[in-house]
Amino acid sequence: MLAIKIQTERGESYERPPLGLLSELVGRIGPDGDRFLVVERIVEDPDVYVQVWHDAGGDYQLEHRDGAAERHFQAYLPTAAEVVEVMARWARQEEAWDVGPGWQRLRLP
């Protein structure tokens, strides 16, 4: 079980899901009405989360925010498996969880 909450675009909510469910949810996103997931740690902080957006046929846009807007980053990954791996490392708060993807600061209006 991961110490996270998942919200889907469809309005589904999952608390403390097994890794397999996270993998299933990331793997299904892409069609209209089911393009994103937002993942927060159980210890709620609205400015700390990871989220993923996916249009069928394209890369996955993975984002993470660690506090203020200037700590909001994005990376593009080609597969659901890569997204799940990064999200699971984030959820477990593993050291260097963010090593690998080419993170770029996301500048919000």
- What does the mean pLDDT of the chain come to? 94
Tens digit of each residue's pLDDT (9 = 90 or more) over 61-78: 999 999 888 899 999 999
Task: Measure the CA–CA gap between 30 and 33, rounded to whole angstroms.
Answer: 8
Say what the pLDDT of residue 21 is. Answer: 97
Most distant CA atoms of the chain, gap in Å: 36
Q: What is the mean pLDDT of residues 32-40?
A: 96
Global pTM?
0.92
Q: What is the mean pLDDT of residues 43-47?
A: 79
Distances in whole angstroms, Cα of residue 103 to Cα of each of 5, 17, 79, 100: 23, 26, 16, 8
Whether the pLDDT of residue 108 is over 80: the answer is: no
